[in-house]
Structure 1
Amino acid sequence: MSDLRNKYQISIKKMKVRASTLVFPFGTGAMIDLPNWVLMTASGEYWDKKKLKTIHDERLENVLRVRGFKSPVIRQDDDIDNVKKDEKLYMPFVQFPTWYFCPNCRSFKTLKEWEKDYKKAKGEDEVMRTPFCCSKEHKYMTKLVPARLIVACENGHIDDFPWIEWTHLKDHKKICDNPQLVIKTSGVSSGLEGITVECKTCNARISLSGTFTNSGKNEFEMLEEKVKNESKGKEKLVQDNFSLQCKGNRPWDGTKDEKCGLYPTTLQRGAINVYFPKIESSIVIPPYSDKYTKMVEESLEFEKLIIKLEDEDRENKKEEFIVKAINAISKEKAIDESVVKNIILRKLEVKEEHEECDIDKIKYKEEEYKALIGELSYDISNQADFKIIPQKVKEYHKSYLSKVVLIHKMREVRVLTGFSRINGPDNNIMDSDNEGESSNKNYKLIKPLSDKDWYPAIEVNGEGIFIELDEILIQKWIDENPEVTERIANINGKYHKILLDKGFSIRKITPKFVLLHTLSHLIIKELSFKCGYSSTSLRERIYCNTKDNGYHMCGIMIYTANGDSEGTLGGLVRQGKSDRLPNIIDSAIEKARFCSSDPVCIESLGQGRDGLNLSACFSCCLVSETSCEEFNTLLDRALIVGTLDNKSIGFFNNFR
């Protein structure tokens, strides 16, 4: 830790936060509002390895080409009383943004300047643990407020808004030698035009209106051109090499990319496009979920082996280390040596089918689907993290159901593989490439740490319900209702335009997918309403593709997203029994027939983000975005219950 601080000259703050949030939504590079500060989560290099638990999922490790994952939770072997799995702990953050404002004296300056004032007032040995203004004009110390504007670029860099340059140059003045900024507000407007930044030294004064990109041209590029043109033949406002281009700052790890070349974009500090995390999710399935694999992964000798194999200087002793580790693990866990050998060799094997950099997410789900419908052969009695019980579908008395599986125990691994800014990443593929080498030209995926041997992750142990619909009935419904295909063609056209504009991989949206996705949302809402689950405690996993696109899938899994008492005591599994699930589905479909926003909602041909929903809004279909795989898009209630003019396009109208 100290070596990294000296190398990058980075200031680390240790703050107490809930551990699981450091993967999502406050992963590396994201800002988090704490009671006294706004901070940015530091790169994984700064995390205390003693407070990290190693997580394994062989399938995901092979795709992402890593040895394992690290979870920022307190280890169970620590000498701490009453340790909870997701207890708050101290984790490293860096200070960002660095500009703060005093609402009392109106002064606006960097934290370094505020700290100098604090030391003058309190003494050189004092540390400013909370941002305060100690001006003699105040009767009491005034708590500072962080700047609401920052700048970022598509290469993932982020920086403070150039307040000094903007204030002076916008007012056609040269930057003075000792700028002292203040912020003033007027009662004219509550927007940015009502906020003015002034320099007390030279009286430069400018409103914050116009700080955002307008007419498609970058605001900093326009200002730079304007200033350089005004400097011709007059006293120069700036030096010849002056530029407002991105400085390439990476506050989360203290480094800087010297050659960025882009002009930054002004953003609100809390805007959604400041940070787009790339989260990969995987269900641990056989043979990776059996108890012997888990025992090997949890052994101390296996962890030592991984550390040794990561050392390039010891690569020539690889076979020797493996043989010794197999013997040591066998003795440590009292497992037959041949069993340990098979597991170790399987875990270290290079999977040739994952040599490509980008893996299709639909393809990745095929193995999970096969495990859920019973097409994978494995020893049921040896499973530690995957326990399912297929149900007799005839007992549900629903002809459109082909399979119902109750998942009594499952483990999900969620991994932060990177993040982007301004433009979101391509969520149709699972990136395993190096930083910045994605095929997408409109965003740069920033890795959460420079060490490529692991990623930050969390694991969730829970339960779920898997439902497979009869694909033959669905295809018959599509063939008999041309309007269904027309409606989805509307969504597909918009979706593909967005993908092409951003350079994303193309994915075909089918009526079957929209039907499954909308049904999943309706069931989640009904489970939350009838059974007491919070809307954020349930998640969906859609299994859907066509026969001409690999293994055909036609199912949905609804499972608990939080591994606590709300999701591991059998409550969700109980709702999947034949005496309850049919009633839940019937009630969900019946409620979908009416929406408080009808007839506007049911007649809509495009609503929600980018118009990617048809008959779907917050009143009828949308759920918490953390529960949805598609961020509340690609939904159409009309495929479930039909429209006012055409009831027949509703799939479930045929089974009333």
Structure 2
Amino acid sequence: MGGAATAERGIGMTDPQSRFAQVPEDRTLDPLGDADVERSAGRKRNYAKVGSGRPSSLLYTYGPGAVMDLPHFTVMPSGLDDWNRIWARRDGDPLVIEAPQLRKAVSVLLRSPRIELRPFPWQAVAFTGSEEGKDLGVPARVFPQWLRCTGCDNLGLISQFSYVNVKRHRPDQARFYHEKCYGRHNRPRSRPSAQTAVPARYLLACKDGHLDEFPYDWWIHRGDSCPSGIEHPQLRMTDRTAGKGAAATIACTQCDKRRPMSEAQGEAGAEKLPRCRGRHPHLGTFERGGCGVQPKLMLIGASNLWFGATQSVIVMPQTEADRADSLAMRMWSAQGEDLAELRGNPKLIRMILKTHIDLEEVDDQTLLAAVEEALAPAVPEEEQEKRRGEWDPVDLLVPEWEYLLKADPLGPGHDDVRSGLTLSERSWNREWLGGSLGRVLAVESLRKVNALLGFTRIDDMDRVADLEERLVPLTREHPDWTVATEDRGEGIFLQFDESRVSKWETKVEDSQLWKAHLASHDQNFRNRFSETAKKVEPSSRMKPPRYWLLHTFAHILIRECSLTCGYSAASLSERLYAWPKSEGRAASAGLVVLTTASDSDGTLGGLVQLSEPNRLRKIIEHGLYRAKRCSSDPLCASRTPKPPEDFLHGAACHCCVMASETSCERANRFLDRRFLIPLPGHEQLAFFN
């Protein structure tokens, strides 16, 4: 994917009504424009591209606001406002990903009824060295902008160092360097030489999602100015114990003051840090009125520096409502408010929009109805807030579950071209395993769309109770689009018999084991969830017994399939449909084990072949047999949380059913083999007995 930037340019103040304020010291980047300026001035080319990443990494690991490691420095992808300038380099409408159900959910969560899902600004090249896609890329800024010379330990802002990036096809060699480095004071060099400068690795982050540079000059002088009277004194960062946390020492060469970074660690160290300024580097803004929260010392490579908040769907064939919504959105994107002038004139609509939308299969009645839907007045804020408050993540799963239940494939390979879904029903012996499994579908091809909503810092979204104040926005103003990715793949759908699951679930809810899990979950919530989660009732986050059952079963299936299908266990994932009956929603009990790839060709078919009845039966039998024994037994088999323990699993560990982070949708929580197969002391709770 496209890379980052090297020079800076200022941008104007935002709307006074915005929650953000910009200050002169914060700037955004125009990497492609900088390259043009360098060329026009006759200087060596300053190429804009400095790195690359896969769409999945830019969505889940290095999205806007994250700190992305490059070979010689780090960058932060900018907010989506700056991406608009990249899209503007192309004539025509930006590309849009069609996933009506996901788009509707995103519009509710981001309070933007006409929001679009767009891919990353990238284009594949036909051959090595091709100029295609050169004008596209993900804009970013160098962050942090405090650098340390590796030759003399000089610590300074980015303006004190030189930059080079002159090899078009070697962006990995882009680097900052100290042009005249004389070495360290105890081992000086007689002649200066250029030495690479690397990021100073300390940052300040707060629980409300703000991130800032560490104020090294403020820190060493304990909030005062340097006694020498120099406004920007020369600092040094010495670190002789790499890999031991905040072990560096900061020294001022003008006043000889020194202070170790270890003083900033822990709760006691946090009290010595300045209050959070409310900075959002990816937006180039500060919160109006500041933040004032006590920040924490962070390292640029910390895993809890950025947690993307995403939603995803497996795209199902569109309903009439979906098609109307999709058509209305494309019309609005092409014409905007000018669409009002075309009301009641289908012939004129076709003539003007034919270059934007294929309308050959759309009749006049549908066309006019789509125009009216596109021009419908915005939903009042009160209604938006109501919808957002009532929204449940299960809402995205319900349409998938309902379609998979009613879908009646017309023979093998029955597909829907628009959604990318291809299904084949397998003839399954429903009496096997006591009638536990009711239906099996081979999902020969599928399209999964993932959208980024925002991100949190320090705590994952699930750990902060999805509270609005913790979600950092991707734009300075109201968003009209968000970034999304498309993955293509295959899978196996299994439906459990609802009557058996419901009967088993009632028995489990009365057991002492389940009561122990409930108490442990409550303790876990109160111990580890953020302060902002106090408004949330812990029981609302506890998954029902059927979820534990299907989750554990999915994990043993993933383990067993990986031994047979040719894909690694980390490349397989789960999608669970497990909720009890409630008002307006029928109960569900099923799962899809799937594998997807961001490549347009999808996957190779090794997993879907395992849906053949004889193969699938052996896989399930072997999986259940292996689940009876764990190398950590009897400790694993008898693990039951007791006060003050607060773990969210029972008889489960990495030796038996736990899976990699890429496979599990719940980070290996809500797992217990005792709900699946008979284990000593709890044989009566096993679903498969």
TM-score, normalised by the number of residues in structure 2: 0.76
1:519 aligned to which of 553, 557, 564: 553
Stretches of structure 2 that go unaligned for 5 or more consecutive residues are: 14-26, 32-47, 108-112, 165-172, 184-191
Compute the displacement of 1:560 (Å).
Answer: 1.6
Counterparts in 2 of 1:321 and 1:206: CA distance versus 1, 3 Å: farther
Match of 2:280 among 230, 236, 250: 250
Task: Choose which of 295, 306, 317 in structure 1 pairs with 2:341.
Answer: 317
Distance in structure 2 (CA, Å) of the matches to 1:305 and 1:618:
50
Q: SS of 2:12's equivalent?
A: helix
Q: State the match for 2:567 in structure 1.
A: 533
Q: Aligned residue for 2:150?
A: 103
1:263 aligns with 2:294: yes
- From 184, 199, 217, the counterpart of 2:238: 184
Residues 1:71 and 2:106 aligned together: no
Aligned to 1:38: 74
Q: Could you give the per-residue CA deviations for residues 118-146 of structure 1, whole angstroms, max 9, x where no partner exists?
A: 79xxxxxxxx9412223342575322221
Matched-pair contact (CA < 8 Å) for 1:152–1:264: yes
Offset of 1:525 from its aligned partner?
1.9
Tell me: CA distance 1:10–1:567, structure 2 relative to 1, closer, same or farther (3 Å).
closer
Q: Deviations over 1:105-125 (max 9, x none)?
A: 12122211223xx79xxxxxx
Task: Say whether residues 1:11 and 2:29 are aligned partners.
Answer: yes
1:152, distance to aligned residue in structure 2 (A):
1.4
How far residue 570 of structure 1 moved from its aligned partner, in angstroms, is 2.5
In the TM superposition, residue 573 of structure 1 has moved relative to its aligned partner by 1.5
Quote the offset at 1:214 in angstroms: 1.6
Amino acid at match of 1:269: I
- Kept in 2, the 8 Å contact 1:372–1:388? The answer is no
Deviations 1:77-116 (CA, angstroms, capped at 9, x unpaired): x887899x9999732111111112223212122211223x
Shift of 1:279: 0.4
User: Is 1:135 the equivalent of 2:172?
Assistant: no
- Which segment drifts farther, 398-407 or 193-202? 193-202
Name the aligned partner's letter for residue 389 of structure 1.
S
Of 592, 616, 630 in structure 2, the residue corresponding to residue 595 of structure 1 is: 630
Counterpart residue number, 2:248: 195
Partner of 1:56: 98
- Give the structure 2 partner of residue 488 of structure 1: 517
Conserved 8 A contact 1:484-1:639: no
**Aligned equivalents of 1:87 and 1:557: distance in 2?**
39
**3-state DSSP of counterpart to 2:96:** strand
The separation in 1 between residues aligned to 2:497 and 2:373, in whole angstroms, is: 36
Instruction: Quote the residue 1:233 is aligned against.
Output: none
The amino acid across from 2:367 in the alignment is K
One-letter amino acid of the structure 2 residue matched with residue 135 of structure 1: K
1:168-567 paired onto structure 2 within 5 Å: 168-169=221-222, 177=230, 178-186=232-240, 191-192=244-245, 194-214=247-267, 219-220=269-270, 222-223=271-272, 244-259=274-289, 260-287=291-318, 303=330, 305-309=332-336, 314=338, 316-317=340-341, 319=343, 324-326=348-350, 332=358, 334-338=360-364, 341=367, 344=370, 348=374, 356-358=387-389, 359-374=391-406, 383-385=417-419, 386-394=421-429, 397-398=432-433, 399-426=435-462, 439-440=467-468, 443-448=470-475, 450-480=477-507, 482-494=511-523, 496-497=525-526, 502=533, 503-504=535-536, 506-548=540-582, 550-564=585-599, 567=602
Match of 1:628 in 2: 664
Is the partner of 2:577 in helix, strand or coil?
A: strand
String of CA shifts for 1:557-602, please: whole Å, max 9, x gaps.
1122214489533322111111211111222222222233333333
Tell me, what secondary structure is at the counterpart of 1:447? coil
User: Could you tell me which amino acid in structure 1 is paired with residue 455 of structure 2?
Assistant: F
Task: Give the C-alpha shift of residue 61 in structure 1.
Answer: 1.9
Out of 588, 597, 607, the position equivalent to 1:572 is 607
Query: Does the Cα contact within 8 Å between 1:284 and 1:410 map onto a contact in 2?
Result: yes
Change (3 A) 1:585 1:315: same
SS in 2 for 1:18: coil
CA contact (8 A) 2:554 2:574 kept: yes
Match of residue 648 from structure 2: 612
How many residues are aligned here? 601
Is the Cα–Cα contact under 8 Å of residues 420 and 446 in structure 1 kept in the other structure? Answer: no
Q: 1:156 to 1:651 in 2, by over 3 A?
A: same
Distance in 2, Cα, partners of 1:157 & 1:23: 19
**Partners of 2:11 and 2:647 in 1: CA distance:** 49
- 273-282 vs 620-629, which deviates more? 620-629
Instruction: Report deviation, 1:371.
Output: 0.4
Contact residue 96 and residue 116 of structure 2 kept, 8 A: yes
Asked if the contact 1:293/1:343 (under 8 Å) is kept, the reply is: no
Which deviates more from structure 2 when the two are superposed, residues 512-521 or residues 320-329?
320-329
- Deviation digits for residues 491-540 of structure 1 (CA, Å, limit 9, x no counterpart): 44245545695244723421111111111122112222222212332221
| CA shift digits 1:129-175 (9 cap, x unpaired) | 41222334257532222122101123322111111111221899868
Distance 1:534 1:565 in 2: 20
AA partner of residue 561 (structure 1): T
Taking only the aligned residue pairs, the percentage that are identical comes to 24
| Bigger mean CA deviation after superposition, 8-17 or 454-463 | 8-17
| Matched letter for residue 313 of structure 2 | S
Contact residue 289 and residue 384 of structure 1 kept, 8 A: no
Whole-angstrom distance in 2 between the partners of 1:202 and 1:428: 44
Moved more, 349-358 or 525-534: 349-358
> Using the alignment, how far apart are the partners of 1:289 and 1:131 within structure 2?
56
Is the deviation greater in 445-454 or in 322-331? 322-331
Q: CA-atom RMSD, angstroms?
A: 4.2
SS of the residue corresponding to residue 517 of structure 2 reads helix
The code of the aligned residue for 1:510 comes to P
| SS of match in other structure, 1:541 | strand
Q: Take 1:566 and 1:624, find their aligned partners in 2: how far apart are those partners?
A: 25
Tell me how far 1:324 sits from its aligned partner. 3.7
Matched to 1:287, the amino acid is Q
SS at match of 1:137: strand
AA aligned to 1:546 is P
Q: State how 1:142-153 maps to structure 2 within 5 Å.
A: 142-153=195-206
Find the aligned partners of 1:604 and 1:540 in 2 and give their Cα distance.
25
> What does residue 42 of structure 2 align with?
none
Which amino acid counterpart does residue 299 of structure 2 have in structure 1? Q
Report the secondary structure of 1:356's partner residue.
helix
The reply on whether 1:167 has 2:220 as its aligned counterpart is yes
Q: Residue 105 of structure 1 aligns to which amino acid in structure 2? A: C
What is the identity, as a one-letter code, of the residue corresponding to 2:665? E
The code of the aligned residue for 1:581 comes to L
Q: CA deviation at 1:250?
A: 1.7
Distance of 2:394 and 2:351 partners within structure 1: 39
State the one-letter code of the partner of 2:275: Q
Aligned to 2:43: none
Q: 1:286 to 1:82 in 2, by over 3 A?
A: farther
**What TM-score does the superposition give when structure 1 sets the normalisation length?**
0.80
Structure 1 residues 200, 4: closer, same or farther in 2, change over 3 A? closer
